Amino acid sequence: MTDKRYPELDALRGLAVLAMIAYHLLFDLYLYYGYLIPIESFGSQAYARITACVFLALVGICFVISWERTAPKARLRKYGRRALIILGGALVVTLVTWIIDPPTFVIFGILHLIGIATFVQYLVRPLRKWNILLGLFILSTIFFLPTGELGTPLLLPFGILEKGFTSVDYYPLFPWLGPILIGMGLGDVLYVPERHERLEPFDDVQFPKWLLWTGRKSLWIYFAHQPVLLLILWMLLHN
């Protein structure tokens, strides 16, 4: 596989990150400043979940492309290091949100999910396109996970709620590992060993440079955007 970027992935990832930031802006206005925004409506929740699914599927696709470009002997070190960096950022999010808003602080948010999923991706990579089926199964667990609240926080990463649990960012492995694995399978279908010929016309599309940059820096932007949003809102709206 040639060492090149695929602009359609950068652009789509950039759009997904911007959509997440827009949702979090509305959420912050609703939660911290009392704006009457229908954040819990079906439409708002569908928007948030579809955006998350697209972003997580791209995590899976890009993992496959990166895997194919990495020497086999270097993979364990590369992805182990990546997972630890992401989980380190996730712990920072947990600490900061615990200081700012203890009742709803982030215990297992999207960065926690991506960090743990990196280890899982390493293990399930041999399944290749069959990861689509595994991902669909995990995604389907949203319909039959226990709905009652249990008395232990140890099951929170698996989508089983502790009694009285609330969080501003909660993406458990079940069902949210599903879109990542589906993305891995799609990566094999569309990009391995070479990008599918139907995607080649994207090479001629002139995507805005700022959108491509956003996509390439998506994880770091996602990590930093919430503190920046809260600071801007505090400067503009704090009395």
Query: Of 116, 239, 233, 136, whose CA–CA distance to 184 is shortest?
Result: 136
Q: Quote the tokens at residue 7.
A: 């602009």
- What are 222-234's pLDDT values in tens digits? 888 888 898 899 8
What's phi and psi for 35, nearest 5 deg? -70, 140
**What local confidence, expressed as pLDDT, does residue 151 receive?**
64
pLDDT the model gives residue 226: 84
Max CA separation in the chain (angstroms) = 57
Helix boundaries (H) for the chain: 7-33, 42-69, 72-100, 110-124, 131-140, 173-191, 209-216, 218-237
* Residue ranges in the chain modelled with pLDDT below 70: 1-4, 146-151, 239
What's the pLDDT score for residue 3? 41
Which residues fall within 8 angstroms of residue 132, CB to CB, at 6 or more apart? Answer: 181, 182, 185, 186, 189
Q: What is the DSSP string of 13-74?
A: HHHHHHHHHHHHHHHHHHHHH-----TTSHHHHHHHHHHHHHHHHHHHHHHHHHHHHS-HHH
Q: How many angstroms separate the CA atoms of 35 and 48, rounded?
A: 18
